[in-house]
A and B are shown apart, each in its own frame.
Chain A
């Protein structure tokens, strides 16, 4: 009944044997121990489980494990490290965009996918593109502020300025 599924997670090739009805979220959390992606609802409406699959922000609770076969997956654990924080991670700390932290990994990855696709995303773009990621704590103000700060930081880096 279990199927072999191979994919790439955070730059490493992974091979798991799982029941085909398991979601990508379950596989990441239970089989690979990557618990940064969270479960917040039953139906893909909270965004806490967001990961990046082949460059796109995806709700991993809506993807069955076999659908992830051969894909490149990035989770929060692969985005940055304590020594080398991703600009979004740094901005979320600096701008107090974190409260309970349950939405944070999904929020950061959804923001990364947006900024990868649209490096000059405006506040309006951020609000429109991330509205599937729910935060109950912050009222979103400081999250928008953090994403804008990270955007500016990334743009500067891209233009080769310090």
Chain B
């Protein structure tokens, strides 16, 4: 695939780079194609006597647990422990949902009791022998119902009593938080507007459906501590949670992170580690807790459903003057929820110049499977509304949708509605490239039959949260090989490869001489977790500092030995160079030693590597005024993306096919261009699922389509052929990013739904405001259009004759 002019200009400015900026093969690919890359469940054989855990789950969306008798289960031979909510720590972590329900279950799927047994079959049999009686309670699934002052159910009775609940509203007991943005004068903005457009948009609950189910092996250690092998994200965060929940000394908790089979935000919450630890401590044994796919739908994290009310005012010439929004974010049955919708709302603020902005966002609890982070963290759902609105506004104004966006897009150096100065924004270049490649202004060629074709585009940005603290360590050996130690995640995005590239570049080494050691709290230094697309930026910056720390030590030692100035020295592939000429092999700096030499003397010794250490943490946010939400720094930077699609809509069946996709991204700088493409294509695929296929379907408050057979995620057949999927880069370098890099993982997802909906409108003349764009919804909208105006269905036909 080819890339835009913007990229070649950025490449030429970094033309001295040898490894970074190049599509070097992934360092983990060989192990993965040979089937020898180890994931958590692959380690089971290493643990003789490993116990299996199974969980009894509530079949009701809201129910009091009237009776819970586990005695029959406990008596079953081979059962080693049975636990209920009474056995769980009282503490609640917002990063780790309650381990098991206490007194009442607040969603269908919540764990009520759990068993550790010698085999999975015995554990299942024991679960069946638990005697439980529920009293069903009224439940609430709809967040707009739930947020009223007297809701049908209060989901988390302790909401408001937890620390750090943002603007909790006591009179509305399911609202976990409220964020307000008040910029300019909203009344004046609308008064001066020539055109005002109001709409409501919604997205449903969906599942991350990462291919590897959540899995944790926990081993009780003779010192009373535990060791965890888990595909949860953030080994140090997990260590902290486990130590805190179980009052274990930090020094006795070790967390190891094998390869992770995808996460997409799911494993940022730790929903298996605490239960596994509880049962390891109970049995003084080693336990395995691996979710079934059904449990991944019922009891793992999900994506926040979001409802958006949006009212936009613009001048006749398209200048945006005012926007009023109400954003309702459905936490599901979250304990200790701290969500206030602020993260989701950011999707409405980071792209357009809107002088008068009035926004309220709310986090709301319902009796549905709980929600957490999901690629884009809420912005995807808000962008669905904002970009659909822009498309409709362009039509209302009779303006070209690209022109409308160009007129209002924020420029570098300008302030957004929060009051932040934009330091890197390539979004318009992304959109222009996409509109050109999809030939937006050339109508699609229609064919006879029920399929109608249409095109659409959208653009958007995703904030990066200024959080996380990353450390990295490098060990430089006398043979000029380098070990990189870090603890960010590798859930498939390629962090190991990016870190190896960075170290190879800094040490001017072939990448084969770099070895990655990752994700073990006993061996690798602190990191938070891989979230908000910040691993390249946070951990990458820390690693560059670690490399430079080691290089500085080496060059200082070399300067003494060579009697040369440090400034004149460079380290290149294991050679100390003096003003460009090789002067000393690195190994010669390491003194051999024996019992006849002074082993304790200073200086480098053979066998003892030079250690470099680096720390990076982004500058913190500046607290915002709670009444206006304004601040010069809420976020760190923004990654941007644009998407163009051509779709075909079947007017008889309501099916949508994605015929072509064009994607463009501003990631600041592509450290590994092929891996960036992979993120873009993967985000596109995932977003197609979220747009046309995926949704939680409930009956009597219970999610019923809880298998891959019934919850359909995209297969090879939903994606357009290779020749019809193109990717482009439009990087705008970030001043403090490694070689200008920001991040890419999340923005790849955010523009796809509005682009598809715009293309559907272009094809058949119906506007859909609720996701997913299922065949039923398309048909219903077509029928409604037909009934409202007998001539309406002709739009496509008329256009046919024009073409």
Residues of A that sit less than 8 Å from B by CB: 29-30, 33-43, 45-46, 48, 75-77, 80-82, 85, 89, 92-94, 96, 98-105, 108, 123-124, 126-128, 130-145
Contact = CB atoms under 8 A, between A and B. Distances in A.
B128 interface: no
User: Which one of A29, A108, A131, A138 has the greatest number of beta carbons of chain B within 10 Å?
Assistant: A138
Closest 4 pairs (CB-CB, A-B): A36-B35, A100-B492, A139-B685, A102-B261
Given A42-B293, A100-B491, A102-B39, A89 B34 contact: yes
B259 A101 contact: yes
B705 to A, nearest CB: 12
A107 to B, nearest CB: 10
Given A99-B494, A131-B715, A76 B682 contact: no
Contacts, number: 187
A42 B707 contact: yes
Contacts of A108: 33
A28 to B, nearest CB: 11
A136 B708 CA distance: 12
B492 A137 contact: yes
B209 interface: yes
Interface string B694-724: 0000000000000111000111110101100
A99 B23 contact: no
B717 A131 contact: yes
A33 B708 contact: no
Residue with the highest number of chain B CB atoms closer than 10 Å, among A30, A130, A139: A139
Nearest to B715: A131
Contacts of B26: 93, 96, 98
Nearest to B717: A131
Contact of A46 (B211, B682, B686): B211
A96 B717 contact: no
Contact of B261 (A34, A89, A100, A144): A100
Given A99-B492, A99-B494, 18 more contacts: A29-B42, A30-B44, A38-B211, A42-B707, A46-B293, A46-B708, A76-B33, A89-B34, A93-B25, A96-B23, A96-B674, A98-B26, A102-B210, A124-B721, A136-B210, A137-B262, A137-B682, A139-B682
B109 to A, nearest CB: 15
A140 B685 contact: yes
Given A100-B212, A138-B685, A45 B707 contact: yes
B213 interface: yes
Contact of A138 (B25, B293, B294, B678): B678
Interface of B: 23, 25-26, 28-39, 41-42, 44-45, 208-213, 259-262, 264, 292-294, 491-494, 674-675, 677-678, 681-686, 707-709, 713-717, 719, 721-722, 725
Chain A interface mostly: loop
18 contacts: A35-B35, A36-B35, A46-B211, A76-B33, A85-B33, A99-B493, A100-B492, A101-B261, A128-B717, A134-B211, A134-B708, A136-B686, A138-B681, A139-B681, A139-B683, A139-B686, A140-B681, A144-B722
Contact of B293 (A36, A40, A80, A140): A40
B719 A139 contact: yes
B211 A142 contact: no
Contacts of A75: 35
B35 A105 contact: yes
Contacts of A100: 210-212, 259-262, 491-492
Contacts of B292: 42
B722 A138 contact: no
Counting chain A CB atoms within 10 Å of each CB, which of B44, B292, B675, B716 scores highest?
B716
Contacts of B32: 98, 101, 104
Nearest to A138: B682
Given A75-B35, A102-B39, A130-B716, A136 B45 contact: no
B34 to A, nearest CB: 7
Q: Which residue, A39, A80, A137, has most C-beta atoms of chain B within 10 A? A: A137
Contacts of A126: 716
Contacts of A143: 716
Nearest to A94: B25
Contact of A45 (B25, B674, B686, B709): B709
Nearest to A93: B29
A5 B38 CA distance: 27
A134 B681 contact: no
A141 B717 contact: no
B492 A134 contact: no
Nearest to B259: A101
Contacts of A89: 33-34
Contacts of B677: 96, 142
Contact of A99 (B38, B682, B713): B682
Contacts of A92: 29, 33
A45 B708 contact: yes
A99 B34 contact: no
Given A40-B211, A43-B709, A141 B719 contact: yes
Contacts of A34: 35
B515 to A, nearest CB: 16
A137 B261 CA distance: 9
B211 A98 contact: no
Contacts of A30: 44-45
B708 A93 contact: no
Contacts of A123: 721-722
Contacts of B709: 43, 45
A75 B29 CA distance: 18
A34 to B, nearest CB: 8
A99 B259 CA distance: 11
A136 B33 contact: no
Contacts of A128: 716-717
A30 B26 CA distance: 29
Given A100-B260, A131-B716, A35 B42 contact: yes
A141 B45 contact: no
A29 B26 CA distance: 26
Given A141-B725, A144-B716, A104 B33 contact: yes
Contact of A96 (B35, B44, B675, B708): B675
A50 to B, nearest CB: 11
A41 B713 CA distance: 13
Nearest to B119: A19
Contact of A141 (B31, B681, B713): B681
Nearest to A86: B33
Contacts of B686: 136, 139
B475 to A, nearest CB: 25
Interface hub of B34, B36, B492, B493 (most chain A Cβ within 10 A): B34
Contacts of B211: 38, 40, 46, 48, 100, 102-103, 134-137
A130 B716 CA distance: 7
